[in-house]
């Protein structure tokens, strides 16, 4: 059935990837209590299996066609956006689980880390598919609460500060988001998107705008975009690198998918200035993120600010969601490219726990040539050098912006891309320099292998984009 309002579709198979991940998280929690400490890695293995099965299920569902569906009273959409979100988030979760294997091996709370990762990912999955304001609020909480814990997981001073900052910002903006939802509910007299899509165009524009701004606050917090970005550098620097990889990737994917859905379904016909608002936020995010990244010396802070600027580019297609046909395809492809490339860069950081500053990477080419090459591919990938995936993402995003009448934003994004080259090069230069320094120290092998794979995947996704791109343009559930 196609999901119109109120259909009685409650088939749990529609949510198979989410059910699998939830199941493995709960089972992992129980297993963790019984397994001896040296076998706790089985919890991560279970999570990896759930991710693999979930990806297979999501691809099968997408390949089977049959058009978009709205499951559970229209609260959860299963369409191209959800399917892409599932594949990207689950693949990202698998990467984070792999990265977490070595640093938490034998840790007293090893299984808890793996379970929290899966729960945070589950929240991101729900964000991507939610088609009802209340479900969106629940997904927000599900994505946030495990993340707060992950940020402070190491219980050291920087971690505690990171978690506190993250939690306070999240709680504040979460409340604002709930207020926004309340206002939208009052304006549209419904919480389901299809119903809102019919009602909101007739509601007072001021009310809709106020509600949307509130809602945006929460989602921008999850994406780490300006003005909800204050937690990003501290959380990334203070938490463990695998957790930082998760915080800057998975919630972003879910929240950006949610933003796109909001723009395309309930807000599509309204008179609120969505395009202008998001365009300004995009411009602010990419510019401020870049400016702040310029003179960072800690690699994790540099990456943190780089993710803030990346969200700026990602918000571009959201701004023109209803104006340009290629917007959805551009957003989803960029998200996939960003996720794999950003995780690759964090994998390099995880692989070299001894090197925390840019100077610490001096001599990386000599010591670990494969890792140096992966780092160059990932950083130049984030920059948008062809033929990596982010290049094609940027190409599509710029095209969508031009097509949607936001040429100035595309020009600004191009200028920001040039500016970002400056700080990516600040990292690449010492890595490829020859002389001096103590060297980057020993290598964590699983993380290094993940970095190689991510770098290769980033190129492969760019070169083999043809068939992927065709799958991303499908219609949304309504």
Q: Which of residues 298-337 bind other proteins (CB under 8 A)?
A: 329
Stretch that binds other proteins, among 80-88, 155-163, 309-317, 428-436 (CB under 8 A): 428-436
**Distance from C-alpha of 182 to C-alpha of 185, rounded to nearest angstrom:** 5
**Is residue 90 within 8 Å of 58, Cβ to Cβ?**
yes
Among 202, 273, 425, 475, binds other proteins (CB under 8 A): 425
DSSP-H helix ranges across 248-361: 250-264, 274-293, 299-319, 327-351
Contacts of 298 by beta carbon, 8 Å cutoff, 6+ apart: 237, 356, 357, 358
Among 139, 380, 451, 455, binds other proteins (CB under 8 A): 380
**Distance from C-alpha of 201 to C-alpha of 274, rounded to nearest angstrom:** 13
Q: What are phi and psi of 273, to 5 degrees?
A: -80, 60
State both tokens at 357: 């500053």
Which of 330, 344, 326 is closest to 382 using CA atoms?
344
Closer residue to other proteins (CB): 23 or 387: 387
Which of 332, 212, 229 is closest to 282 using CA atoms?
229
Stretch that binds other proteins, among 144-152, 254-262, 283-291, 418-426 (CB under 8 A): 418-426
Angle between helices 16-34 and 80-101 (to 10 degrees): 20
**Distance from C-alpha of 363 to C-alpha of 447, rounded to nearest angstrom:** 19
414 in contact with other proteins (CB under 8 A): yes
Closer residue to other proteins (CB): 229 or 362: 362
What is residue 230's three-state secondary structure? coil
Closer residue to other proteins (CB): 53 or 471: 471
Q: What character string, x for contact with other proteins (CB under 8 A) and - otherwise, covers 230-269?
A: ----------------------------------------
**Is residue 188 within 8 Å of 199, Cβ to Cβ?**
yes
Q: Which of residues 18-47 bind other proteins (CB under 8 A)?
A: none
Which of 131, 180, 170, 128 is closest to 150 using CA atoms?
170
165 in contact with other proteins (CB under 8 A): no
CB of 473 to other proteins, least distance (A): 7
185 in contact with other proteins (CB under 8 A): no
Stretch that binds other proteins, among 79-87, 233-241, 294-302, 384-392 (CB under 8 A): 384-392
408 in contact with other proteins (CB under 8 A): no
Cβ burial 227-245 (10 Å sphere, 16+ → b, else e): ebbbbbbbbbbbbbbbbbb
Closer residue to other proteins (CB): 75 or 413: 413
Among 105, 164, 399, 443, binds other proteins (CB under 8 A): 399
Among 307, 385, 450, 458, binds other proteins (CB under 8 A): 385
Closer residue to other proteins (CB): 247 or 428: 428
Stretch that binds other proteins, among 10-18, 145-153, 294-302, 402-410 (CB under 8 A): 402-410
CB of 296 to other proteins, least distance (A): 17
Residues that bind other proteins (CB under 8 A): 329, 365, 380, 385-387, 391-392, 395-396, 398-399, 402-403, 410-411, 414-415, 417-418, 421-422, 425, 429, 432-434, 465-466, 469-470, 473
């Amino acid at each position: 059935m196609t999901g119109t309002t109120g259909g009685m579709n409650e088939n749990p198979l529609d949510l198979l990837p989410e059910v699998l991940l939830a199941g493995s998280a709960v089972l992992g929690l129980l297993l963790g209590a019984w397994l001896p400490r040296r076998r706790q890695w089985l919890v991560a293995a279970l999570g990896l299996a759930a991710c693999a099965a979930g990806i297979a299920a999501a691809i099968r569902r997408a390949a089977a066609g049959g058009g978009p569906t709205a499951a559970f009273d229209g609260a959860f959409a299963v369409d191209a956006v959800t399917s892409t979100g599932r594949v990207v988030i689950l693949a990202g979760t698998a990467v984070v689980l792999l990265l977490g294997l070595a640093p938490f091996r034998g840790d007293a709370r090893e299984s808890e880390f793996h379970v929290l990762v899966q729960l945070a990912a589950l929240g991101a999955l729900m964000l991507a598919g939610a088609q009802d304001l209340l479900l969106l609020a629940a997904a927000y909480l599900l994505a946030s609460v495990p993340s707060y814990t992950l940020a402070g997981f190491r219980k050291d001073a920087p971690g505690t500060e990171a978690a506190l900052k993250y939690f306070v910002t999240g709680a504040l903006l979460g409340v604002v988001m709930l207020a926004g939802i309340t206002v939208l509910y009052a304006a549209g007299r419904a919480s389901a998107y299809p119903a809102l899509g019919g009602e909101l165009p007739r509601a007072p524009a001021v009310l809709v705008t106020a509600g949307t701004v509130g809602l945006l606050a929460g989602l921008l917090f999850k994406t780490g975009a300006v003005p909800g970005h204050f937690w990003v550098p501290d959380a990334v620097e203070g938490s463990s690198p695998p957790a930082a990889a998760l915080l800057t990737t998975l919630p972003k994917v879910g929240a950006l998918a949610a933003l796109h859905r909001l723009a395309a379904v309930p807000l599509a016909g309204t008179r609120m200035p969505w395009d202008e608002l998001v365009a300004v936020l995009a411009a602010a995010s990419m510019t401020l993120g870049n400016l702040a990244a310029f003179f960072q010396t800690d690699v994790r802070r540099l990456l943190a600010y780089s993710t803030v600027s990346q969200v700026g580019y990602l918000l571009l297609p959201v701004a023109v969601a209803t104006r340009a046909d290629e917007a959805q395809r551009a957003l989803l492809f960029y998200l996939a490219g960003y996720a794999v490339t950003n995780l690759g860069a964090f994998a390099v950081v995880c692989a070299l726990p001894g090197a925390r500053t840019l100077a610490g990477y001096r001599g990386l080419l000599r010591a670990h040539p494969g890792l140096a090459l992966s780092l160059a591919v990932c950083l130049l990938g984030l920059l948008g050098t062809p033929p990596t995936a982010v290049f094609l993402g940027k190409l599509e995003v710029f095209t969508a912006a031009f097509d949607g009448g936001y040429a100035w934003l595309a020009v600004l994004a191009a200028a920001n891309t040039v500016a970002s080259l400056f700080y990516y090069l600040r990292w690449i230069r010492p890595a490829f320099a020859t002389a001096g320094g103590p060297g980057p120290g020993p290598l964590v092998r699983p993380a290094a292998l993940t970095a190689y794979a991510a770098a290769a995947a980033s190129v492969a996704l760019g070169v083999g984009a043809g068939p992927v791109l065709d799958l991303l343009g499908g219609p949304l559930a309504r």
